[in-house]
Amino acid sequence: IHLATPAIVAVAPAMNQAMWAHAASVANISMLQERGVRIIGPDEGIQACGDVGPGRMQQPDAIVHNLGSLFQTGRLAGKKLVITAGPTREALDPVRYISNHSSGKMGYALAEAAIEAGANVSLISGPVAIAPPERCQFTAVESAQQMLNASLEAAADADIFIAAAAVADYRASSVAEQKIKKQGEQISISLEKNPDIVATVAQQTDCFVVGFAAETQDVESYARDKLARKNLHAIIANDVSRGDVGFNAEDNEVSWIDADSTKVFSKRSKAQLARDILEHMVNHHKL
Ligand code: PMT
Radius of gyration of the chain (CA): 22
Encode pLDDT of 123-134 as tens digits: 999 999 999 998
Cite the active site residues.
49
Which residues form ligand 1's pocket by a CB distance below 6 Å? 84, 102-107, 144, 163-167, 169, 194, 196-198, 211-214, 226, 238, 240, 246-248
Beta strands at 52-56 and 43-46: parallel, antiparallel or unpaired:
antiparallel
| Cis? peptide before 94, omega within 30° of 0 | no
pLDDT classification of 61: cutoffs 50, 70, 90 = confident
160 and 97 in contact (C-beta within 8 Å)?
A: no
Percent of the chain with pLDDT over 90: 86
Q: Average pLDDT in the 44-62 region?
A: 92
Res 72: pLDDT: 66
Encode pLDDT of 168-215 as tens digits: 999 999 999 999 999 899 999 999 999 999 999 999 999 999 999 999
Mutate to test the pocket of ligand 1, among 102, 254, 272 (most ligand atoms within 8 A of CB): 102
Atom of ligand 1 nearest to the CA of 193: 36
Nearest CA residue ID for atom 27, ligand 1: 212
Mutate to test the pocket of ligand 1, among 103, 198, 215, 222 (most ligand atoms within 8 A of CB): 198
First to last CA, the chain: 37
Residue 260 CA to ligand 1 center (angstroms) comes to 22
257 and 220 in contact (C-beta within 8 Å)?
A: yes
pLDDT higher at 27 or 8: 27
Encode pLDDT of 72-117 as tens digits: 678 999 899 999 999 999 999 999 999 999 999 999 999 999 999 9
Length of the chain as a residue count: 287
CA distance 98 to 65: 34
Q: What is the mean pLDDT of the chain?
A: 94
Residue 180 CA to ligand 1 center (angstroms) comes to 29
Phi, psi of 83 (to 5 degrees): -130, 130
C-alpha of 127 from chain center: 14
pLDDT classification of 144: cutoffs 50, 70, 90 = very high
CA distances from 158 to 37, 103, 162, 187 (A): 22, 25, 11, 44
